[in-house]
Amino acid sequence: MSEETLFTRIVEDEIPSDTVYEDETTYAFLDVNPLAPGHTLVIPKEPYERLSELPPAEAADVFSVLGEITAAVEAAVDADGTTIALNNGEAAGQEVPHVHWHIIPQFEDDTARPIHALFDGAELSDEERSEIAARIRDNR
């Protein structure tokens, strides 16, 4: 866990933000470079870098409010849906090393697109898929 990140400075009010939610463990605020109106970031206050570092109790805290904040974002900007995304690690495009969920409103008549549009797709045989599933089970 890092000691301080850009987002801990936001939580501590050293950097101003448009805060939309706060409790003992969780914080949510508008993204300063929004991909859509209402683009919101939800974070644990503690600066865990990756999802796998987030202790289950704090993950439960974040998830207990994520749906509620998402509904409020959708209502606030009259969105038809939302993409909830987490860039986990630099290779996935994570720029701020403090785990965070993006809530990105989508609009049917606008640029709505599924997460599948981000990837080229991988051609795998049934055997290759089964082997990957076995390796995932073994690594848990």
Instruction: Kindly list the catalytic residues.
Output: 100
As to burial, measured by CB atoms within 10 angstroms (0-12 exposed, 13-18 middle, 19+ buried), residue 103 is: buried
Q: How far is the CB of 3 from ligand 5GP (least distance, A)?
A: 18
Q: How far is the CB of 14 from ligand 5GP (least distance, A)?
A: 11
Binding residues for ligand 5GP, rule: CB under 6 A, are: 6, 15, 17, 29-33, 87, 93-96
Nearer to ligand 5GP, 42 or 79 (CB): 42
Q: How far is the CB of 105 from ligand 5GP (least distance, A)?
A: 14
Cα(122)–Cα(116) distance, rounded to whole angstroms? 11
Nearer to ligand 5GP, 20 or 79 (CB): 20
